[in-house]
Structure 1
Amino acid sequence: MGEPMRRTHFRLSPSQKERLSQAQERCREAAGSVHASAFVNVGDTILVDYENGFLRGHGTQLVDGQLLATVCGVVERVNKLVSVRPLRARYNPETGDVVVGRITEVAPKRWKVDVNSRQDAQLMLSAVNLPGGIQRRRTATDELNMRDLFTENDLISAEVQTLHQDGSLHLHTRSLKYGKLENGHLVKVAPYLIKRLKQHFHQLKQYGVQLILGCNGYVWISAVPPSSSEMEIDQKPADSESRQPGAGTSEGQNVEITRDLRVRICRIANAVRVLGACGFMIHPDSIVDTYEASLSWGIEPRQMISGEFHVRVVEREAEQRSKKG
């Protein structure tokens, strides 16, 4: 179901634009918002301690004794290192990140995977579980049968295993919660909006839906397999008898998806799109809040990507932040 959207655009009337601008201003002024000095545009001066010294990082340049930003983004400080993280940039991977990717090429002993990074990731044949969970050395026969595991355009969930100085990265799918993804909906958002959590696999059992919030900005939404439990498969041995249909296993994913379940999946997908378009952090709580708001307002799934719903979500967030203050 569905391809990743490049970006969600809303058609706004003049009155809606005015309401949106006012709501965004209230969000910025509300307590709990990031201080305005944390955001910079190209050419803005970044405040630093010149007496004690500083280190110039990415996205900055020293001009006439002043540190200026060369990109639009958020100022980050680590000890004396000052850098600017661009708001709209490719995914910057870290070891241990959970990602959702698409197979782009089957190469000798490896797959190339699009993970929304500067270059395709590598998934080695030795870094995947063989059918049946057999633990042995990979042979020439396994290499010939690689397309039986993953082929071009397949969607997979994986974990970043290693990073290299040239920017390349290697993935692995050795855990049973990783693997091929089927019968779901893929939504693409800006990677910086995905909140880093201890767990990126979430089951919204009240809706019968499960989420994979990829750190690379790819969000996978699908039905909860009938016999699955909350990531218990991760601790089970990798054999055929103990394999349960989980988030990343194709076995058992061909379950019947009713019309009501499709509507819930589409509603959650549109909630993710709206949050991404608004620039709000995406995590299970914010997704559920937006989902419930659409129900309480009597909004149909197709109406969630309208300008009016977009404005109301921002106004609702501004009101909540004002109450916290």
Structure 2
Amino acid sequence: MFTIARIPPAPTFERGSSPEAPVRMDAMDVDGDDLGEGTSLGARRTIVSPGEVITSSKEYMRGHGTYVEDDNVVSAVAGTLERVNKLISVKALQSRYTPEVGDLVIGRIVEVGAQRWRVEANARQDAVLMLSSVNLPGGVQRRKVESDALKMREFLAEGDLLVAEVQAFFQDGAMSLHTRSLKYGKLRNGLLLELPPRLVRRLKSHFYHLPPPAGPVGVDVILGLNGYVWVSLGTRQDDREGGEGFDAEGVYRNDNDEIDPESRQAIIDVANVIKAFAAHGVPLADTLIAEGYQWLRDQALVPGVPLAAADGERMVRELALSE
């Protein structure tokens, strides 16, 4: 079985306590080179509040999260200021996940329909997983027939968790997902964490394996760009990507494997590290999670128990907020 942990809103730290902390600048600094070009501001970010004047509307165009008042571009939300050439926009600090093609997401099946599943993926609307976009048990690649449609609930039923990739968008903006790769599919043997999507960075790979001594077989972490993070029992690389030893017939199994106490403790400890970083608004990365787990072991804290707030804050300050 799995459990769900909801991350509380992130507290704020004083300016200068973190290399990741947003850089505060005057409103009219947008006219300089500090903001840079491109789709984001990179390391230099300006936080603006609702109603704050950003720059002149005569020189710049207003984008999402802004409006024009008295010939000025004004922020409509609290968020980070972004500039693309002459287009100024504000990305809200708290918002739903905005998907892009190729994103890795974690979702929950909420409805089984005709030739498709409806998936809740922490976005503005539910995603859709077509029967034609999944691997059949055994990894068989063939055209889906009527008998496959009759067995859809045997593959994925309401309440099942899965990891998938954003394939395309429908005309109404809903995501179309696929699980054709053997590293995608139903999730088992772990627990789900729900984070603000802004805390999950775009990485080269969103599948991360912490090897032993993080439990006898290690711990697997899947960082969904939609803010859902899956922490589970570790598996071998070949088992995860369809190599020798891959259980092709067990892809759609509903029962969890037997997990030994040491592995359970390691899973809980990794989840505690992720929740501590998220609670303090620190963006996640695979190396940071590994450093956090090693920090727990170095402190000789009792494994498998909730992390005290003071210990979590001390870990964040030492690993992520030190100059």
Q: TM-score under structure 1 normalisation?
A: 0.83
Q: Distance in 1 between matches of 2:158 and 2:81?
A: 39
Between stretches 56-65 and 38-47, larger displacement belongs to 38-47
Instruction: State the partner residue of 1:201.
Output: 207
- Going from structure 1 to structure 2, the CA distance change for 1:249 and 1:228 (only over 3 Å counts) comes to farther
State which of 46, 50, 66 in structure 2 corresponds to 1:42: 50
Q: Distance in 2 between matches of 1:135 and 1:314?
A: 46
Which one-letter code corresponds to 2:296 in the other structure? S
1:220 aligns with 2:230: yes
1:263-292 per-position Cα deviation (integer Å, ceiling 9, x unaligned): 010000111111111000111111122222
Retained in 2: the 8 A contact 1:157–1:180?
yes
Q: CA deviation at 1:5?
A: 2.5
Retained in 2: the 8 A contact 1:184–1:220?
yes
SS in 1 for 2:162: strand
1:181 aligns with 2:187: yes
Q: Distance in 1 between matches of 2:108 and 2:49?
A: 33
Q: CA deviation at 1:295?
A: 2.3
Q: CA deviation at 1:198?
A: 1.5
- Going from structure 1 to structure 2, the CA distance change for 1:81 and 1:179 (only over 3 Å counts) comes to same
Q: Distance in 1 between matches of 2:264 and 2:9?
A: 23
- Going from structure 1 to structure 2, the CA distance change for 1:316 and 1:72 (only over 3 Å counts) comes to same
Retained in 2: the 8 A contact 1:101–1:113?
yes
Retained in 2: the 8 A contact 1:245–1:253?
no
SS in 1 for 2:318: helix
Q: CA deviation at 1:8?
A: 3.1
Retained in 2: the 8 A contact 1:158–1:179?
yes
Instruction: State the partner residue of 2:41.
Output: none
1:133-170 per-position Cα deviation (integer Å, ceiling 9, x unaligned): 33322222111100110000000010000024532110
Gaps of 5+ in 1: 11-19, 237-241
Retained in 1: the 8 A contact 2:105–2:228?
yes
State which of 53, 68, 72 in structure 1 corresponds to 2:74: 68
- Going from structure 1 to structure 2, the CA distance change for 1:185 and 1:313 (only over 3 Å counts) comes to same
1:45-70 per-position Cα deviation (integer Å, ceiling 9, x unaligned): 2146x56x322111101111111111
SS in 1 for 2:54: coil
Q: TM-score under structure 2 normalisation?
A: 0.84
Higher helix share: 1
1:117-147 per-position Cα deviation (integer Å, ceiling 9, x unaligned): 0011000000001122333222221111001
Q: Distance in 2 between matches of 1:230 and 1:56?
A: 49
Which one-letter code corresponds to 2:286 in the other structure? P
Q: CA deviation at 1:197?
A: 0.8
Retained in 1: the 8 A contact 2:155–2:252?
no
Instruction: State the partner residue of 1:114.
Output: 120
Q: CA deviation at 1:245?
A: 4.2
Q: CA deviation at 1:187?
A: 0.7
Instruction: State the partner residue of 2:158.
Output: 152
Between stretches 128-137 and 101-110, larger displacement belongs to 128-137
Retained in 2: the 8 A contact 1:193–1:281?
yes
Q: Distance in 2 between matches of 1:136 and 1:315?
A: 52
1:91 aligns with 2:93: no
The structure with higher relative contact order (CA 8 Å, sep 6+) is 1
Gaps of 5+ in 2: 26-45
SS in 2 for 1:187: strand
- Going from structure 1 to structure 2, the CA distance change for 1:295 and 1:8 (only over 3 Å counts) comes to farther
Q: Distance in 1 between matches of 2:314 and 2:125?
A: 38
Which one-letter code corresponds to 2:54 in the other structure? I
